[in-house]
Structure formats: C-alpha cells, structure tokens
Amino acid sequence: MQDNVVVITGASGGIGAALAELLSGRGASLALVARREQALRAVAGHCGAQAHAIVADVTRRDQVRRVVDESLARFGRIDVWVNNAGQGISRPPSQLTDDDVDEMVRINVKSVLYGMQEVLPHFASRGTGHVINVSSMLGRIPFAVNRSAYIGAKHFMNALTASFRAEVQQAHPGIQFSLVSPGVVSTDFGLNALHGGPDSRQLPDSQSAEEVAMVIAEVIRSRRPDVYTRPGAHDRVVQYYDSVGADP
C-alpha cells in the first residue's frame, strides 16, 4: 500500500471513513471525497498529512472531473479509485415513484459511471490503474423487498462494471475494475435511506465497516475482479438461483 494514491468517494463516514483510516496507516496518499465538509475534514484529520479532503457531489459529472483534476494537482497521479458513495431506499416495488427510481440511479449508478469515465483517460495514459466499485449482496440476491429500487441500481452497477472491464481491458489489460459486495454493514446506511429505514446496526449478522475496509484493502493488493466480504456469500448466491429454478 506504500506510496499508492487512492481516491475514496463517500469518505465522510461508514465504509469510506474506515477504509481511509486503514489505508493511511499503511502509507497511502488519499484524496477523500464527500459532500459533508465538516465530517469529511474530521476523517482527513485522523488520516494525517497525506490525506486531502475534496468537498464534492459525485452525482454531478463536473464535480467528479474536478476531483480528478484536484487529485492529480495534489499527488501527481491516481493509482486506485474507490466508488463508495451510495444511498438506500425504503419502499416496496409496487409503490415506487419515478422520483424514487431516478434518485437511486443518480446516486448509485451515475456516480459510479462518472468516476469510471472521468478517471479512465488518466489510467489509459499510464496503462495502469484500478477502479473498485462497492456494491452489495443485494446486487446479487433481491432478498429485501423494501430496498427494491436500490437492488435494481446495484444490479445495474454490477453489469456496468463488468462491461467496463471487458471494454477497457481489450486495449489496456493493466487497468482493473473490481466489485466488492458486502452484506449488512453496521453504519448509518439504514437511517440515511430515502424514506427512512431501520438502523443497520440493529439488524442481525451485520458486519463492521472496518471488516469491509480490510477486504477492500486486500482487493487493492490482489486486484481480484469480484469479491464478497463474508465467507459463504458466493455459495448463498448460487443457492438462491438454484432455489428459483435458474439454469446453471
């Protein structure tokens, strides 16, 4: 991790903040990105002099482009870009509105698309780079009905990531696109969901943000394309599709 320059979106709390503190302790230089300035600067302060806070809304392409430019101006290069910003929703599919769907795509898909597209020219110029997109088990198994539009957005993001990888690696095999899929994580995710929701910390079998951060750090090292954060998650996905009668 020493000397890596890592951009982390959604870095003002939860998984993003935990990852920032972990990587800073391993010698990485960090561009930390979020909308909440006070919380973001507090995280950056914990990470030391090699952490640079950038207040930006990553659902806006012009601001993502500014993050790229500011990171390059500060550090000279970007090695890893972690698309971690996102938001859930609490509403069953029969009650979804146009605004609900648009908001889930804007926050969970467009932010990722903008990150991949805007950092790609820099990675292509160097012939190397690594994008890590933080997905969800819900992007594999639709087991939470009230998260319906979020589930759809994560499936979209997963497909987009795989398609990006297939396209870019034809010309630039040194550029990797990885997916990391946590289950329930003990953060403010549930409380911050559109239309509210249960506190994720109170749900059974939740995982700490620090545990997820450790998995992401290992993905930076290994560059594996598709990783779950809990043992047995892959088998759970296979069992789900077996149970609904999907062909192997």
Q: Establish if 188 belongs to a structural domain.
A: yes
Q: How far is CA 105 from CA 100, 108, 237, in A?
A: 9, 5, 23
Report the number of distinct structural domains present in the chain. 1
What region does 187 belong to: left with phi over 0, alpha with psi -120 to 50, or beta? Answer: beta
Give pTM, 2 decimals: 0.94
Q: What is the mean pLDDT of the chain?
A: 94
* Phi then psi dihedrals of residue 80, to 5 deg: -135, 135
At 160 the pLDDT is 98
Question: What residue numbers bound the domain in which 156 lies?
Answer: 5-243
What percent of the chain has pLDDT above 90? 83
Active site residues per annotation: 150
Domain CATH code at residue 28 = 3.40.50.720
pLDDT tens readout for residues 90-140 = 999 999 999 999 999 999 999 999 999 999 999 999 999 999 999 999 999
Question: How crowded is the C-beta side of 94, counted as CA atoms within 13 Å?
Answer: 0
H helix runs in the chain, sequence order:
14-25, 37-47, 61-75, 98-105, 111-126, 148-171, 209-222, 233-243
Q: Establish if 248 belongs to a structural domain.
A: no
Contact 106, 157 (CB under 8 A): no
Write down the residue that tokens 């909440």 correspond to: 36
